[in-house]
Amino acid sequence: MKHAILFTLLASLLAVGCERVRQTQPVLEYFDKDTTFTVGNVRCDVNYNYLTIANASRSEALQAIEEANMGYFFNLESFSGTPAEAFETSLKQLTEELGPGSDGENNWDATINVESQGRVVHSLLVYCITRSSYTGGAHGLQSTDCHNYSLRGGYELTLIDLFDKRQQEALGALIRTKLYDMFGVTGDEGLTEQGFFPEYIDVTENFRITPEGIVFLYNPYDIGCYALGYIEVTVTLSLIHISEPTRRSYIS
């Protein structure tokens, strides 16, 4: 079964590598910070490895990307400042969230590790933020969230920027078919036996654009049980055929 999808912005993004792009290129540097603090009977170890844009002040677009990504990384809303200031604000917020700790006699440890990776892909800056934490409960939590920013405009791309509703439905069907192949099943019943929640399988805003195509990422519990871990579904350029006269692309 073939799904014909009209690519708008994605087609031009994938083709722009052959064009001269006028934009300030980001200088990426790591801001590493770790600390330990105690709240009540809770000892919390925090480790941050944040990829900052060192030359963000050179461009309004880069500054907008830096502020947006800093907010995602440090879990801050409407924040404007330096990574060091974001770190301190994040710790204060975290302390408040943990509260005074319990009145029990047993001490326990909490851990929070956050790191980011980034790369320039044609006219985009693509960030992935990986977060792992244990703040009580049966097991820790892990997640990876991806963000694709325009280096020209400084805004984040979303699905609606790339695909209309009909195209997203076609992509959702393609993703489901790819999962059948990945896990050696022939339908939703087989996915359910593997631990999936078929009713939740669809396109996701958690995607990253690569030189090879586009990758949709599903965190634990997004479309299946915790034991399945991360699920990635890749649509490669080998499945994308750009017709220059109409900018029409087809995914098969």
CB-neighbour burial class of residue 245 (10 A; exposed 0-12, middle 13-18, buried 19+): exposed
Tokens of 168: 């997203």
Question: Angle CA(14)–CA(171)–CA(129) in degrees, nearest 5?
Answer: 65
* Average pLDDT of span 106-115: 85
Given a cut of 60, is residue 84 above it in pLDDT? yes
Residue range 6-20: mean pLDDT, rounded: 47
Query: How is residue 165 written in tokens?
Result: 């509703």
Specify whether the CB–CB gap between 126 and 53 falls below 8 A: no
Mean per-residue pLDDT over the chain, rounded? 83
Looking at residues 90-112, what average pLDDT do you find? 75
- Report pLDDT for 35: 94
**Nearest one of 252, 245, 238 to 14, comparing CA atoms:** 238
Q: Which of 115-124, 128-137, 238-247 has the highest mean pLDDT?
A: 115-124
Question: Per-residue DSSP letters for 107-140?
Answer: -EEEEEEEEEEEEEETTEEEEEEEEEEESSSSS-
Structure tokens at 119: 């790369």
Banded model confidence at residue 237, pLDDT cuts 50, 70, 90: low
How high is the pLDDT of residue 16? 46
Residue 168 has what pLDDT?
A: 87
Q: Within a 10 A sphere around the Cβ of 225, how many other Cβ atoms? A: 12
Report percent pLDDT > 70 for the chain: 80
Contact 206, 217 (CB under 8 A): yes
CA angle 53, 69, 240 (to 5 degrees): 95
Question: 167: number of CA atoms within 13 Å, CB side?
Answer: 16
78 falls in which pLDDT band (50, 70, 90)? confident
Q: Which helix (H) or strand (E) holds 188?
A: helix 188-194
What's the confidence (pLDDT) of residue 122?
87
**Does residue 250 contact residue 5 with C-beta atoms inside 8 Å?**
yes
How confident is the model over 29-55, as a mean pLDDT?
93
Separation in Å, CA 25 to CA 11, 29, 37, 54, 128: 22, 13, 38, 11, 18
Helix axes 60-74, 83-98, angle to 10 degrees: 20
Whether 246 has a pLDDT exceeding 90, the answer reads: no
For 155, which DSSP code? P
CA distance 249 to 252: 10
pLDDT above 90: percentage of residues in the chain: 61
Most confidently predicted of 32-41, 143-152, 170-179: 143-152
